[in-house]
A = this chain, B = another copy of it.
C-alpha cells in the first residue's frame, strides 16, 4: 500500500487495506466505495475511493471519520499464457500507445489503474487478440490527450510509418479521447498509408464494468486487418457494447463528454461497422490496401490559430495573432460562414501580409457558403478561404499541415480548397444531420 503519513495512520487504525469497501463520513456527507491505492499525484491528506457509479474520487481526510464496511476480496486476474511465438497464419498488427485509458488494465491487488503498453500486458488483458493477430505493442509516449501538440502528431506519424515499413498489416493507435479527432485528422494529412491506421480509445477505464476499452481494442485490430487503407477512428457505434464504427479521420468529432458512442461522423457516414467480429462496409469510396506507396509528409507550421467568433468578440484578437507573426488563422464563424463585420479590417490586413485565413462554421453540420449573404461576400473579398463541409477542427489541423507543404500562399490556398483525405465532400450534406 502506497498511502503514507496521516492517511496511512488513519487506515491502519481501522485495519483498512486497499480493496476494502469503506465509508468516509465528513460533515453531512458520507461516501461508500472501494479504497483504491494512492494515485501518483495524491498527497497524504486524501483517500481515493471508487464509488459505485464507477468514478474515482479523492476525499480529504481532515475531520473525516472512516469505517470498514466489508473486507475486499482482492480478485486476481488469471494471467493467460501469452503465446510469444509468432503464429505464421496470422497477420502482424502493431498497437502503438500514446496514452489514454484504452490500453490500461487494473491491478486488483493494488486497485491502481496502470498503463499496459507491452504486447504481453495487452494480451493478458485481451486474450482474444491472440486468435486474430500477432500483436506488437509499443509505447511512444504517455500523455493525456488534452496535452497533445502538433509536434507530437509528427512524432506519432513517423512511429506509425516505421511499423508499416517493418511490414505490419495494420497499425492501431491507442489515444486519449479528448483530442483523438485532431490527431486522426493530422495523421490523415501527414500519412499516405497503404495499410489501415486505426485510432482508438476508451471513455471508461477498463476497471469499470461499463468499460468500452475491450470492444474498441478488439474491433480496432479487426479493422487493422481489413482492406481499408485510411486513417480512421474506431469507437462504439451506440451505447450498447455490441458494435463499433470506423470513422474517416478527417470527418469525425467527439460529440459527448461521457457517452461511449461519443465519436460521430459529421456531414458523412462512417466507412464501416464492426459487429460480432465482422466488418460491414457502409460505403465503397475508401482507399483500398496497397494502392499507394507509404509517404510521410511531415512538415508542419504550428503558428496557426483557431478562433471561434461570438457576439462581442474583440477584433484585436486577430491583430494579436498577426502581430505575433502567425502564418494562418481558422475562424470558426457562425451560420454559413460569417463573423462580426468589425473583424473584416483585420482579416484584410492578414490577407495583405499573406497570412492564410480560412472560414469554418460553429454549426459543425452543413457547408460553409459565403455567396448567400453580404457578410460572406465581403469576407471572400477580403481573401477568406471557405472550407466547404470541413469541421473547424479538421480545418485547423489541415492549415497547420498545408502551411508546412508550401511557402507560397496561393499553393497553400489551393491545398485548403482541394480534397486531400476525404475532408471535403462534393455532395450536399443535408441528409447527414443528426436531427
A residues touching B (Cβ–Cβ < 8 Å)? 39, 41, 55-58, 144-150, 152-153, 177-179, 182-183, 238-239, 254-259, 261-262, 264, 302, 304-314, 316-317, 320, 324, 332-342, 361-369, 371-375, 377, 393, 396, 400, 430, 433-435
Task: Give Cα A166 to B371, complex, Å.
Answer: 42
Q: A146 touches which one: B145, B179, B334 (CB < 8 A)?
A: B334
The distance from the CB of A317 to the nearest CB of chain B, in whole angstroms, is 8
Contacts of A307 in B (CB 8 A): 308
* Residue in B55, B149, B183, B364 whose beta carbon sits within 8 Å of that of A372 in the complex: B55
Contacts of A309 in B (CB 8 A): 146
A238's closest neighbor in chain B, by CB?
B435
Known contacts A58-B377, A239-B435, A306-B313, then 14 further A-B pairs from the complex at CB < 8 Å, ordered by chain A residue: A56-B372, A57-B371, A144-B341, A146-B333, A152-B311, A177-B335, A178-B335, A255-B365, A257-B336, A257-B368, A258-B430, A314-B324, A317-B320, A434-B435
- Which residues on B sit within 8 Å (CB–CB) of A372? 55-56
Whole-angstrom distance from the CB of A119 to the nearest CB of chain B? 26
A330 CB to nearest chain B CB (Å)? 9
* A255 engages B363 (CB within 8 Å): yes
A373 touches B144 (CB 8 A): yes
Asked whether A146 lies within 8 Å of B335 as measured between CB atoms, the reply is yes
Closest B-chain residue to A261, C-beta based?
Answer: B435
Contact B255 A310 (CB under 8 A): no
CB distance from A113 to the nearest CB of B (A): 11
CA distance A427 to B371 in the complex (A): 42
Asked if A374 and B41 sit within 8 Å, CB to CB, the answer is yes
Find chain B residues with CB under 8 A from A339 CB. 146
* A-B interface, 8 closest residue pairs, ranked by CB to CB distance from nearest: A257-B366, A178-B335, A178-B334, A146-B338, A434-B434, A256-B365, A148-B311, A308-B308
Chain B residues with CB under 8 A of A434: 255, 434-435
Complex Cα distance, B307 from A411, in Å, reads: 30
Judge whether B144 and A310 touch: CB under 8 Å. no
Q: Is the CB of B302 within 8 A of A312?
A: yes
Neighbouring B residues of A262 by C-beta, 8 Å: 363, 366
Chain B positions within 8 Å of A308 at CB level: 306-308, 332
Bound: A257/B316 CA distance, A: 27
A311 touching B150, Cβ below 8 Å = yes
Residues of B within 8 A of A264 (CB): 435
Are A336 and B259 in contact, with the CB atoms below 8 A?
A: no
Closest beta carbon of chain B to A306's beta carbon, Å:
5
